Amino acid sequence: MKKTVYVTGADRGLGLALTKVFLEKDFQVFAGRYMNDWPELDQLKETYGDDLHILSLDVTNQQSVDEAARYIEQTAGKLDILVNNAAIYKDRSEDIFGEFNYEDMMKLFDTNVFGPLRVSKSVVPLLLKGESKMLANISSEAASLADSWRKKEYGYSMSKTALNMQLTILQNQLAEQGVKVLAFHPGYVKTYIFGEFNDEATIDAMESATGIVSEILNSPAIEEHMFIDYQGNKMNW
């Protein structure tokens, strides 16, 4: 039986690239889709057939999260790897001398912090039945307190730092069950996270995804450092 992976935010960018890499490695992939008007997942479905399951998923909606988890349970009965990738970015230019949009900041936390927590909670019982027991998350170097350099981007950076704290607590709780939790800095990836495609970024999504999947499949021990980049280098908390 093929190993199973669940990737959130798989519509485009890094999530789509992660889906491609896992399919190429002969996984059964459950891909969470938020935007129905992006055709790439449907094109992958034509190539990979039953190995790809496209799930409607809004990580800010508990019913949507629960329905996706039920589908995975009914279809596969277990889950080997979860990759919490879905995230948004809203406050690139805001600083302390300007105007903060607190409503946008709350949306960042709902998506980037509570979204992964909702999804993780929904499938932990399935991860415990899997072989790999890997709970991977796309974080960011923006989460690092030790290496903080930004003078703007309050909401996004705070949301990713809160995500990292969430992951340390999850690892503390799930270690006895054999679940490994990882937080990845994917690099400065050419994606649509700013709304439009970011050509200024330095790393192609497939390069980042290939590295992330390689690190996941290396099956790092629970006691190994959790916060790493797509090449396996340790990141400072």
Residue 155 is encoded by which pair of tokens? 């909401």
More confident residue, 204 or 81: 81
Q: How many residues does the chain have?
A: 237
The structure's pTM equals 0.95
> Cα torsion for 116, 136, 227, 15, to the nearest 10°?
-80
* Mean local confidence (pLDDT), 44-48: 95
Is pLDDT of 198 > 70? no
Q: What is the pLDDT of residue 36?
A: 86
**Domain 4-229 - what CATH class?**
alpha beta
Is pLDDT of 193 > 70? no
Tell me the domain boundaries of the chain: 4-229
Report DSSP state, residue 131: S
Burial (Cβ within 10 Å: 0-12, 13-18, ≥19) of residue 50:
exposed
Question: Residue 81 phi/psi, 5° resolution?
Answer: -140, 135
Q: Mapping DSSP to helix (H, G, I), strand (E, B) and coil, where does residue 204 land?
A: coil
Average pLDDT, the chain: 94
Is pLDDT of 199 > 90? no
In SS3 terms, 36-98 reads as CCCCHHHHHHHHHHHHEEEEECCCCCHHHHHHHHHHHHHHCCCCCEEEECCCCCCCCCCCCCC
Residue 34 is encoded by which pair of tokens? 């938020």
Q: What is the pLDDT of residue 93?
A: 65
* Mean local confidence (pLDDT), 64-89: 97
